[in-house]
Amino acid sequence: MSDKYQSFSQSPLGKLLVKNLGLPAPMKLERYAEGAPLVDGVVALGGRGRLAESLGGILSQLGVESTDAPAEGSRLKGLVFDATGLTSSDRLVALRDFFTPLMRSLATCPRVVVLGTPPELLEGGERVAQRALEGFTRSLGKEIGRGGTVQLVYVAEGAEASVASTLGFLLSPKSAYVSGQVVRIGATGSTDAPAVTDWTRPLAGKVALVTGASRGIGEQIARVLHRDGATVVGVDVPQAADGLVELMNELDGDWLTLDITAKDAPQRIAQHLKDKHGGVDVVVHNAGITRDKKLANMSEDRWESVIAVNLTAPERISRELLDQGVVNAHGSIVGVASIAGIAGNVGQTNYAASKAGVIGLVDSLKGELTDGITVNAVAPGFIITQMTAAVPFVTREVGQRLNAMSQGGLPVDVAETVAWYADPASSAVNGNVVRVCGQMMLGA
C-alpha cells in the first residue's frame, strides 16, 4: 500500500507546494534488504566515556566502518557519541561541540545514537546530566529530518560488552521507523550473552512462537525471524488456518490453530512446543483485536473480548511456558503493545487498557526472569496495514503525518524491532518498551 501524499510531495509540483505552504515532506525511508551491509557508509564516533575505546572494535565486528576524525567534506551515515563521561550539567556542552559541526555532513536517512548511563543508578550532578540526555535526543530527533533517527541508549556499568546487537539495530535501516527512543541495557538483563558467530543469522537453530501469524504485522514478524534463522511456529485462530498453513509451509515452519483465549490454550501451546521442538527460544505475543466504541456505549462483550485476546492470553501463555520451563535459556518474550496504551485514544478505552497492560506485563516479569530470559515490548504507532487502509481518509492522513517523519510505518518496522529483542546477543536488553512510531508527537 503506497503513500500517495508522499509520492506527490516528491513530484516537481508537490515539492513546490510543500516548500511554499510549509506542508509535511516525508522522505522515503531506507529499509534493510537481506544480504545488504548493516550500514552503507561511515559512522563518526565521539565522546570520552566508558565505551569510547571499544566502540570502533564493536562496529568493526558488525562490518561497520567508523572514524573518530571524519574528513572535511565527507558524508556520514551515522554518529555515535559516548556521553557516559558527562558527570555534571556544565559538561553537556560537549554534545554541542560534537554534533553541531557534523549535522550538515549527514547523508540521507542518517542514524544518531547517544550512549549514557542509567540515571536511576547514579546520584547528584551525574544523575542530572545523564537525565538531560533524554531531552537532547528527543529534540534532535524532531530536528534531524531527511529520514534520520536519533536514539539514547543507557548502558549500565558492567554491560559495556553487550551493546553490539543494539548498535547494529539502531545504526542500520532495520530501525527505519524507530526514533526518539530510550533503550536500557544491563539494568536488569543478563550481561552474559552467548557468542554470536553469524550476525546475519543470529537465530539459527532457534525456535520462535508467533501468535496472530497469518497476516499483517504477525506475518512480517514470522518472515523476519525466519530470515534471521529461526524455525517459526505460527499460531492463529482456525478461521485463519489456510493463510497460516500457506505461510508456514513457505517458511519451512510449523503451525498450531487455536483460540488463544481458550481455557486450555496455554497448556496446548506448551505441550506442542515441548513435544515437537523441545522448547522455545522466542515468544511473540502479536495476536490482537480492536472493538472500538466510546465508553458510554461500550458493551460488556466488546470490553471483555479485547482484554481477553490482547492481555489475559499473553499473561496466561507466558506464565505457563515459564512455569513448565519451556522457554530456553537466553530466550526472549516480546509483547506487542501500542502507542494507544501510552497516549490513549478516543473510542479505545478497552484497547488502550489492554495495551498498557502489556507494558505492565513487561514490568511485572522483568525482575523475576532467570537464565538470561528477557521480556520486552514494542509499541507501534500508525502502521500501514489492510486494517488502517479502511480508516477514513482524513483520519488516516492525520494519523500518518503526526510524527517526526510525517508518514506511517510498515509492518516490517515492527518485525525488525522484535528481531532485535529476539537476538541472543540482546540478553542485556530487558524490560524495555520501544515505540515504533516515527517519533509520534503524542505520548512520552
Q: Report long-range pairs for 129-138 (Cβ below 8 Å, ≥24 apart).
A: 129/86, 129/87, 129/88, 129/89, 129/91, 129/92, 130/83, 130/86, 130/154, 132/89, 132/92, 133/83, 133/86, 133/95, 134/182, 136/92, 136/95, 137/112, 137/180, 137/182, 138/180, 138/439
C-alpha cell at 109: 536517512
Cα separation, 191 vs 208, whole angstroms? 22
Q: How many CB atoms lie within 10 A of CB 197?
A: 8
In 3-state terms, the chain is what percent helix, strand and coil (to 5)?
Answer: 45, 20, 40
Residue 27's SS3 state is coil
Closest CA to 191 of 156, 151, 152, 153: 156
Is-catalytic flag, 351? Answer: yes
Write down the residue that cell numbers 555534571 correspond to: 88
Contacting residues for 41 by C-beta, under 8 A, at least 6 apart: 65, 75, 76, 77, 78, 107
Q: Which amino acid is at 163?
A: V
Q: Which amino acid is at 100?
A: T
Q: Which amino acid is at 254?
A: D
Measured between alpha carbons, how far is residue 378 from residues 181, 188, 219, 390, 421 in Å?
11, 18, 16, 23, 9
Write down the residue that cell numbers 509520534 correspond to: 440
Catalytic residue chosen out of the listed positions 32, 154, 177, 351: 351
C-alpha cell at 24: 509535511
Give residue 71's region: left, alpha or beta (phi > 0; psi -120 to 50).
beta
Catalytic residues, by residue number, are 351
